[in-house]
Amino acid sequence: MKKRTITVAALQTSYGHDLDENIEKTEKLVRKAAEQGAEVVLPSELFEGIYFCTKQDPKWFETAHPVDEHPCVRALKKLAKKLEIVIPISFFEKDGPRYYNSIAIADADGDILGIYRKSHIPDGPGYQEKYYFRPGDTGFRTWKTKRGHIGVGICWDQWYPETARAMALQGAEVLFYPTAIGSEPYDAALDTHLQWQRAMQGHAVSNAIPIVAANRIGLEDNEGVQQKFYGHSFIADHRGELVESFGATDEGVLVHTFDLSLIESYRADWGFFRDRRTDLYAKSII
C-alpha cells in the first residue's frame, strides 16, 4: 500500500472584541502552523470576537454575514490559497432571516467547498446559543480536500457519538472540532476539560480516526458576564492517545503528522464498520 500522510494543526489563543485584531492573530498562527508543515489548520469556534453567547443581546445579530461576505471567510480563504493549505473557517452565518453557527471549508486553492451548520445547539447558563442559532440543516458533511478527506463538527456536536460516526461512515480520514468551552457560571469550581477530551478520545477509538480539537483561552467579559475558557486543545491519534496537547493557558499551534495508509489498515483490522448491525439500529434508536 502506498504511504499517504496528512499533517494537521490546532490553534489555541485568546480573542477580544476587535474583529480585525482577531483575524490578524488567527492569520499569524495559521502561518506559524504552515511553516511547521501543517496542511489542514483548525482555528477555534467563532474566533471573530468574544464568545457572545454568554448572554442574550440582539446587537450580536449585526455581526452575522452570508458566507461570501463574512470578513473571516474572505480573509482566511485568501490565506489558504496563498499557503496552499486547508482551513475550516468558523463564522456567524446569516442566510436571509436565518442565523447559523457555521463552518466554511477553504480548500488549498482558496475555493470554498461548502459549509456545515452546527447541528446540536446548546442552551444553558453561559452557552445560550439557541437564542442566536437555528439548528443546522446541512446534515453531517465531509469534504475531499486537496490535502485529505476531512469531517468537521462544531463544539457541542463533539459530545455526540452519532456526529463522529456519521462523518466516519462518509469516509472522513480525520475529524476536526472547533470549540469555545470553559467555565460554568453556576459553579466556578467546575472544570470539565477532562470529560470534554475523553468524549472525543472515545470517538477516535470507536472510529479508528484521528481527532483535532481547537479551543480558546482567556477570561472574556460580555458587558458584565464573564466566562473563562479552559483551552486544553489537543490532537488524538486513531487509538485515542493524546499525541499533542496544550494546557489551560498555552497559546500557539499544535502540529502532528499521521500516516493515513497505516490508519486505514488498522481500521479494517479492528472491524468496527464490518460488524455494525444497521438492521437492529433502526428498530432501537428513537
Among all residues, which ones are annotated catalytic?
45, 118, 155
3-state secondary structure of 154: coil
3-state secondary structure of 272: coil
| End-to-end alpha carbon distance in the chain | 41
The separation between CA 239 and the C-alpha centre of its own chain, rounded to angstroms, equals 20
Q: How far apart are CA 147 and CA 38, in angstroms?
A: 10
- The residues that bridge with 3 in the sheet, in sequence order, are none
Grid cell 461570501 is found at 68
| One-character DSSP codes across 162-208 | HHHHHHHHTT-SEEEEE---B-BTTBTT---HHHHHHHHHHHHHHHT
Question: Pairing relation of β-strands 252-259 and 5-12?
Answer: antiparallel
Question: Pairing relation of β-strands 40-42 and 5-12?
Answer: parallel
Q: How far apart are CA 66 and CA 207, in angstroms?
A: 34
Q: 150, 180, 144: which is closest to 164 by C-alpha?
A: 150
Count of residues making up the chain:
286
Q: 32, 106, 25, 107: which is closest to 70 by C-alpha?
A: 106
Tell me the HSE value of 272 on the side-chain side, using a 13 A CA sphere.
16
- Alpha carbon separation from 211 to 15, 29, 42, 143, 237 (Å, rounded): 23, 20, 11, 15, 7
